[in-house]
Amino acid sequence: MTEERKDTDVKPEKAAKDEGIAGIDAMTGTEHLEGKEHLDFAASVILMAVCVFALVLSWGYYLKSKAKFYASPGFMPIIIAGSLFIMALVLFLKSIKGSSVKQRFFQILEALPGGLKSKRFLNSLVALGMFGVYTYVLLPLLPFWLSSFIVLLASLLYLKASTVIKCIIIAAISIGGIVLLFQVAFRVPMP
């Protein structure tokens, strides 16, 4: 039995156009946001810089360990950072297709003031702040389970995930499950 399409239904092509989606990459299946290539450019440059730093640091681990490369503590970080670098390079090349590095750089400078005033940027700052408080204040002073519960609860409340009671229940079940699974079942010591 087939259903008739209602006139009120929105066609996928129109919905994609309304959201600014330029199309879907046939090779990767990912959506491309129209006019947002400069964000891909910025992300790829930052990721490549982080990968180079991680590669240099990991190579130092390998040299200091004086072990075979595949048995050194730098082996997996080098593999991961190298793979991420290749992916960032591909993203970089896609982002400058039909443009130039100079044009993308000026697009970033043009978009920066509006981006710094956006709600998304504020949310990112709050998340970084919560992570900093969790790492440098709560974990050294409180047990893992309590500091994790406090931060998860604060995150849920900030994001207005649900009512206060439901957020407390969700945070308690989540942290309780993590502690039971890792500390009790697998006997992994928590920080």
Query: Would you list the domain boundaries of the chain?
Result: 36-115, 119-185
Which region, left, alpha or beta, applies to residue 23 given φ > 0 means left and ψ of -120 to 50 means alpha? Answer: left
Run of H or E including 162: none
From residue 182, alpha-carbon distances to 131, 144, 145, 190 in Å are 21, 12, 12, 8
List the pLDDT tens digit at each of the 191 positions of the chain.
444 444 444 455 554 454 555 556 655 566 656 678 899 999 999 999 999 999 999 999 999 999 999 999 999 999 999 999 999 999 999 999 988 999 999 999 998 999 899 999 999 999 999 999 999 999 999 999 999 999 999 999 999 999 999 999 999 999 999 999 999 999 888 88
Backbone angles phi, psi at 11, to 5 degrees: -70, 145
Locate 142 and state its tokens: 């409180």
Question: Given this model, what pLDDT does residue 190 score?
Answer: 82
Kindly report the CA angle at 91 between 122 and 96, in degrees rounded to 5? 95
Beta bridge partners of 21: 33
Q: Name every residue whose Cβ is closer than 8 Å to that of residue 23 and which is 6 or more positions away in sequence.
A: 16, 31, 32
